Amino acid sequence: MAKKKLFTADYEVHASIKMLYPYIQSASGLAEWFADDVKINNEDKVYTFMWDNEEHKAIQSGHRVNHFARFEFLPENDHDKKDPSYFELRLEFNELTQSVFLKVEDYSDFDDLKELNDLWDGLVENLRKTVGG
């Protein structure tokens, strides 16, 4: 079983935190840049992320309005139950530069960090295009 690793990256996005927050927290916002599609089951609050016709289910395990959203993937095996994969998208404002940053944390068993970095670079570029920032 591959050991999970924490990937972190910071991206400057030229948009306000209030404008960006729905894109990191809501199913419809995430579907615009993060996944091929995102749906939420309103009964159990399970998000279904679609990538390349594969479903990945997650719960929003934490969020604070205009600050961050964290999604924890539902376990696919016993190892995941003990050590679940997650991603967190955090919005930070730098007072000095008046810049907004999207801080990404991706905890998964992805083994190629260069490929993962390229993936996030592309996703955030999609976000920038979507918000015009």
Domain boundaries, the chain: 5-131
69, pLDDT greater than 80: yes
- Non-local (6+) Cβ contacts of 53 within 8 A are 36
65, pLDDT greater than 90: yes
pLDDT > 70 fraction of the chain, expressed in percent and rounded: 98
User: Is 3.90.1150.10 the CATH classification of the domain at 5-131?
Assistant: no
Residues shown for the chain: 133
Give pLDDT tens digits for 110-131.
889 899 999 999 999 999 999 9
Report the chain's terminal Cα–Cα distance, integer Å. Answer: 39
One-letter amino acid of 130? T
Reduced to 3 states (helix: H, G, I; strand: E, B; else coil), residue 11 is strand
Q: Could you tell me if 104 and 87 are in contact, meaning their C-beta atoms sit under 8 angstroms apart?
A: yes
15 burial via Cβ count (<10 Å: 0-12, 13-18, 19+): middle
2, pLDDT greater than 70: no
pTM comes to 0.93
Q: Which residues of 55-77 are buried (b: 16+ CB within 10 A; e: fewer)?
A: ebbbbbeebeebebbbbbbeeee
